[in-house]
């Protein structure tokens, strides 16, 4: 939300702006979810802003405001969503710095220990020598050695404590980073984690000449289901579908909630035939269960999914692989839903 809109929201005219946002959502048949409310507050509060202009364009094109579209708009235009990405990047940089500091501390500890040992050896080398000057020097050197050794022991204690603290910070940072890459509703990987994983999987397949397949999955008629039963029950369905997909994602497979009611499965080292077999098992398991509404125990009926998959071709980018998997998904929808379709293999020229 821009500073201008944020200022208005915290002023008396904020109530009028909020009502205006709700009226706009109602006019365009957009559900008043927290995310949509924030988007449309920005829309009515900054009519010449980039988000408002993009919403105007989507409205003119007749686009439906699904949860997936709202999440993409938020990720692109809302500062808070952008900040999440910046926090993750800063966290990665901090982890790198902490690792460097930890190595420097260990190096300093080893150097201090070696220095103390060297001084001790120098002191011992004068044993048996005659002469008052040498004796005085030896005593002075021995005193210095003992002092440095005491200081070394104190330094080692402090360094050990600091190293342990750095380790705790690194572990905490890793937990924060893991949370930032996890979808809160399903505990699957989120869109950010999926994008990074797919990019990495394509690069690894290219380097090793290995096989890779991508699948995209969508819950059939989810908007109608949401309209009938409400968002809380819709979330229950999303979690159920995610749990089945998640069980199928044994490592090195990666399951993600791509957005809204859309999911993705990455199959490193597996061809389209193997992925198709797994997806059919997932589809059949999901459709075989009659769900009940938790609050009332009413039968919700069976939920079905449509899926599309594409096998990676040498030289193909993650973007084109995603496009082909998406097209296979639309083929499943055009074919009547509750089915899985595979995209034709891409040629090098097409990639």
Are the CB atoms for 212 and 126 separated by under 8 Å?
Answer: no
Residue ranges per domain, the chain? 3-77, 82-180, 191-342
Q: Running DSSP on this structure, what letter comes out for residue 344?
A: P
Residue with tokens 């957005």: 259
Q: Cα(8)–Cα(249) distance, rounded to whole angstroms?
A: 46
Per-residue pLDDT, 232: 83
Q: Can you list the pairs that 43-52 forms with residues at least 24 positions away whose Cβ atoms lie under 8 Å?
A: 44/17, 44/20, 45/1, 45/2, 45/4, 45/5, 45/8, 45/9, 45/17, 45/21, 46/2, 46/4, 46/5, 49/2, 50/77, 51/77, 51/78
Q: What is the mean pLDDT of residues 215-227?
A: 91
Alpha helices, H only, 34-78 = 34-45, 50-60, 67-77
* CA gap 144, 121 in Å, rounded: 13
Let me know if domain 191-342 sits in CATH 3.30.70.270: yes
Contacts of 234 (CB under 8 A, 6+ apart): 222, 225, 226, 261
For the segment 326-347, the average pLDDT, to the nearest whole number, is: 93
Residue 111 pLDDT class (50, 70, 90 cuts):
low
- Label residue 350 by pLDDT band (50, 70, 90): very low
Query: With contact defined as beta carbons under 8 Å apart, do 267 and 274 qualify?
Result: yes
pLDDT over 90 for what percent of the chain?
36
Q: Do the strands 254-259 and 262-268 form a parallel or antiparallel pair, or are they unpaired? A: antiparallel
Read off the pLDDT band of 161 (50, 70, 90).
confident
Half-sphere exposure of 245 (CA within 13 A, CB side): 31
Q: Tell me what pLDDT residue 101 has.
A: 59
pTM summary value: 0.58
Pairwise CA distance, residues 45 & 23, whole Å: 13
pLDDT of residue 349: 41
């Amino acid at each position: 939300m821009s500073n201008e809109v944020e200022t208005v929201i915290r002023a008396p005219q904020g109530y009028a702006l909020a009502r205006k946002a709700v009226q706009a959502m109602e006019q365009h048949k957009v559900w008043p979810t927290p995310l949509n409310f924030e988007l449309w507050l920005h829309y009515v509060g900054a009519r010449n802003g980039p988000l408002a202009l993009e919403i105007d364009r989507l409205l003119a094109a007749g686009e439906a405001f699904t949860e997936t579209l709202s999440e993409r708009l938020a990720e692109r235009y809302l500062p808070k969503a952008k900040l999440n990405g910046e926090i993750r990047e800063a966290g990665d940089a901090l982890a790198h710095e902490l690792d460097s500091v930890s190595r420097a501390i260990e190096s300093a500890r080893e150097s201090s220990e070696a220095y103390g040992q060297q001084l001790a050896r120098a002191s011992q080398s004068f044993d048996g020598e005659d002469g008052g000057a040498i004796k005085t020097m030896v005593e002075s050197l021995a005193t210095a050695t003992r002092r440095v050794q005491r200081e070394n022991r104190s330094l080692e204690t402090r360094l050990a404590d600091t190293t342990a603290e750095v380790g705790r910070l690194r572990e905490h940072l890793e937990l924060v980073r893991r949370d930032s890459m996890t979808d809160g509703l399903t505990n699957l990987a989120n869109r950010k984690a999926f994008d990074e994983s797919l990019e990495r999987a394509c690069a690894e397949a290219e380097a090793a000449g290995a096989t890779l397949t991508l699948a995209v999955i969508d819950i059939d008629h989810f908007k109608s289901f949401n309209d009938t039963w409400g968002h809380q029950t819709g979330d229950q369905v999303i979690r159920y579908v995610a749990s089945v997909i998640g069980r199928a994602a044994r490592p090195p497979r990666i399951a993600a909630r791509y957005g809204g009611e859309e999911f993705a499965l990455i199959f490193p080292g597996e061809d389209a035939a193997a992925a198709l077999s797994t997806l059919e098992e997932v589809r059949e398991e999901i459709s075989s269960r009659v769900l009940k509404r938790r609050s009332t125990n009413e039968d919700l009926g069976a939920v079905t999914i449509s899926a599309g998959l594409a096998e990676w071709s040498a030289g193909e980018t993650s973007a084109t692989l995603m496009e082909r998997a998406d097209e296979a998904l639309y083929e499943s929808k055009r074919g009547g839903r509750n089915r899985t379709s595979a995209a034709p293999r891409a040629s090098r020229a097409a990639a």
